[in-house]
Structure 1
C-alpha cells in the first residue's frame, strides 16, 4: 500500500476534512464504538472543540483520494487543562513553553503495520517549532501494542490523566519534536 499524498490541513480547513476524519475514525475504532467515550458522536464533539482551540493542525493521508489516516493536535501552554489533569504534575521543563498536544490519530485497519501512521505523525511534526510534543494513550489499546509503538517513536511516560468521566485512565507521554 502506498500513500499517494500527505496533506497538512490547518484550522481553516477543518470543515473540508471533517467528514474524512470521521470516516477514518469510525473504521479504526469500530470495535469500541458502543462505548460512550469512543462513539462517533462523542469524537465529533471533541474534534469540533479541538478545531477551534489555539494552534489546531491536522495531517491526513489519502490513497487514491480515499482517506486512510490522520493525526491532529493543538498548542497547549502552561496552565492548560491538559497539564492540569496530568498526575503527577509534569516537570516544569515541559510546560514552561508552548507544546504540541496530539489529540487523536490513527489509520484504517488495512493500513496498520505499513508505516503509514508514522509517516503521518512525522509529516505533522516536520512543520512544528514547539520543543515538545505530547499525547495520551490508553495503555490497554491493542493489548499494550499502541503504547509500545509510541515508546519506539521516542515518547516517554510522564503521568496519567482521565480527560472525562467516560474516558479510561490514559498514560501521558512526551518527546522532543525534533
Structure 2
C-alpha cells in the first residue's frame, strides 16, 4: 500500500507527470509493464531540506533555475527489467520536462534499488533525513547532458541554468 500512498500524494503536486509502458502479445489486450512518475522540484530549494551537509553548488544552481525533476518511483515488471525499460521511462520523463537534473531519494538499506539506480547512471551525492527519523535516504542525481572533459558530471554550467532575471524564485508547491 505504500506505493499507492506515494502515488496519491504525488499526483496532487503541481507538475506531476507519469510515463507508462505497455506491451502487447498477439491476440491479447495491452498490459501495463512499467511506469515512472515524479514532479518538478521547487525553485526555493525546500525539497532539499533534510540534506546532510552542503548541497553541491551545481545542484543548488539547477534547482533555482527550475531545471530539477524529482523521480518518485520507477516500477518495471520483472520480465522487462533486462530490456532497459526503466532507463527509457526515466529518460522520457526527464526530457519531457526539459530537466537538466533528475533527483531521487532511496532508502540506503534498499541495496537492490540503490544498485539499480547507479547502474542507470545516477550519482550518489549524500544522505537525507526526512521526516526526522531513523531512516537514512541516499540522494541520487542523474545529470542530463553530455559529459566531457570540461563537464565531467554532465551538468549544465551556463546562462541557461541561471534563474531568470526578475523572476519569482518560488516554484510550484512541492516538498
Shorter-chain TM band: 0.5 to 0.7
* Counterpart selection for 2:106 from 137, 159, 174: 137
Taking structure 1 as the reference length, the TM-score comes to 0.66
Deviation of 1:62 after TM superposition, in Å, equals 1.0
Alignment of 1:27-66 (within 5 A): 40=1, 42-64=2-24, 65-66=30-31
- Residue 58 of structure 1 contacts residue 72 of structure 1 at CA under 8 Å; is this kept in 2? yes
Q: 1:91 maps to what in 2?
A: 56
Deviation of 1:82 after TM superposition, in Å, equals 2.4
Structure 1 78/92 Cα, relative in aligned 2: closer, same or farther at 3 Å? farther
Deviation of 1:105 after TM superposition, in Å, equals 1.1
- Residue 106 of structure 2 contacts residue 114 of structure 2 at CA under 8 Å; is this kept in 1? yes
Taking structure 2 as the reference length, the TM-score comes to 0.67
RMSD of aligned residue pairs (Cα, Å): 2.2
Deviation of 1:166 after TM superposition, in Å, equals 7.7
- Residue 107 of structure 1 contacts residue 117 of structure 1 at CA under 8 Å; is this kept in 2? yes
* Counterpart selection for 1:150 from 90, 105, 117: 117
Moved segments of 4+, more than 3 Å: 78-81, 162-168
Query: Quick one: higher RCO (CA 8 Å, sep 6+), 1 or 2?
Result: 2
Structure 1 110/44 Cα, relative in aligned 2: closer, same or farther at 3 Å? same
Matched residue of 1:88: which SS? coil
The unaligned stretches of length 5 or more in structure 1 are: 1-39
Higher helix share: 1
- Residue 52 of structure 2 contacts residue 129 of structure 2 at CA under 8 Å; is this kept in 1? no
The unaligned stretches of length 5 or more in structure 2 are: 25-29, 146-175
- Paired residues in the alignment total 136
Q: 1:13 maps to what in 2?
A: none
